[in-house]
Structure 1
Amino acid sequence: MTKPESQTVPSADTDEPMRTLIVDDEPLAVERMQVICAKLGSLSVVGTANDGEAALRLAKALRPDLVLLDMTMPGMDGLEVARKLAGMAGDDGAGPAVIFVTAHDNFAVEAFDCDAVDYVLKPVAKDRLSRAIDRAVERRGSLREDAGSKWLKELWVPHRSELIRLETSQVGRVDAERDYVRLHVGDRSYLLLQTIAGLEKKLDPAQFIRIHRSTILRRDNIRGLRHDGLGVWSAELENGEALRIGRTYLSKVKAMAGR
């Protein structure tokens, strides 16, 4: 395990190199990652660790912006480390970004459920890691822009073997699917591990309204309200679809329409 020469707290300038911690139980793998990282100007390696417990100790002391994290390690595995890192909130309210670097391709879903920025397979190619770093840099910038805002501005969702960034303004509808939500963006949809109640608290109520226990709509996606009789109302969407409004949410929806 290497120690940093300095533990100076980084500035908030997103042009500054990302302070990076490398975590891998194989010393040779750590060395290879250091060589690759040295060729990327957007990174500054501040330390390395060979197991999960050491990684958490260093992360707490150094406050890295990014952790390049192996998945399979003795003792605490990468998924457990990532979950604990998520609780180490920095000035932007979030823990360090995590990029999993692993020889195993069967943990991608679990990795993205931990809100990982990316999932890079070994042997690591410089260009592939560089693309992952670009995503981490972009996310850091977005988090700092949103730090003064209460409402969520973007969502990172798993799609195949990668993560896709969605602006919340792109989402026209949210449907609950057990512990997940399905985000509808145009004619495509994406699953995200998040309860609908939890997501509702993060969305700007000036832009989104919940019309049912299983449905949230972007307000400008609602073309009108329709009374179906016997106290039943529906919201008509821009695409012509009609969705029933739950009784619990009817008064709020009517208030939106000034009724």
Structure 2
Amino acid sequence: MADAQDINRNQAAKFYTAAKSSRQYYESFLVSNCLDKNVLEYGCGSGSYSFFLARHLANKVTGIDISAAAIESARAQAKVQNLGKAAFLVMDAEATEFDDDCFDVICGTGILHHLNLGKALKEIARILRPGGSAIFIEPMGYNQAINIYRRLTPHLRVKDEHPLKYEDLRLIKSFFQEADFKFFHFFSLLAVPFRNMAIFPFLLNFLDYIDGKLAALLPFLRIFYWQVVITLKNQDKSRSLGV
């Protein structure tokens, strides 16, 4: 079973070699917003960004995931790395056990599209402090070439996946006073077959540049991009809590 899972991850990993620009945008946000802050990573798996945040930026990092095995692995790695500022908990992201207004920053990669979005957003808005911010990287669901690949590779998916659509973006906006969506990776995916060649970084940078220009000139095309980086903020909690 473990061997099969490793093969599946390796098959999908090749596409993430083209996801440099979205990852850099996400990491730049964390560097700018997490210094000496109390940070929560949603769907942290076996650690994800929590180790980096605990080592270099945050005052305290909490990672949550529904998988007990993943959390056990994260705890073991944190112990080896002597990261006392990092705590890892098995927890349902749709119904966390945290008090209101707990976290300065909430982050996650590829987690919201696995959840009941309304429940997750309500929970994020509840536990995020007034003036706090959140950031997520999520897949979009409109690119038909990508959707064909998804249908052809069910072994790389889980049943609860639902790449985001327009109605999901509208729902996100309804919970937060500030919601920004930045779209990444259209032509840049064409660089994937060249990932093991010397030309790859130059080709990827060029295609990322084209993607950025295209999104600015023809904004209606943005929904066909592969990923969206979502940044959220609430100054007044009354809106997010439905008061």
TM-score (norm 2): 0.32
Per residue, is there more strand in 1 or in 2? Answer: 1
Larger radius of gyration: 1
TM-score (norm 1): 0.30
Flag the structure with more relative contact order, 1 or 2, with Cα contacts below 8 A and sequence separation at least 6. 2
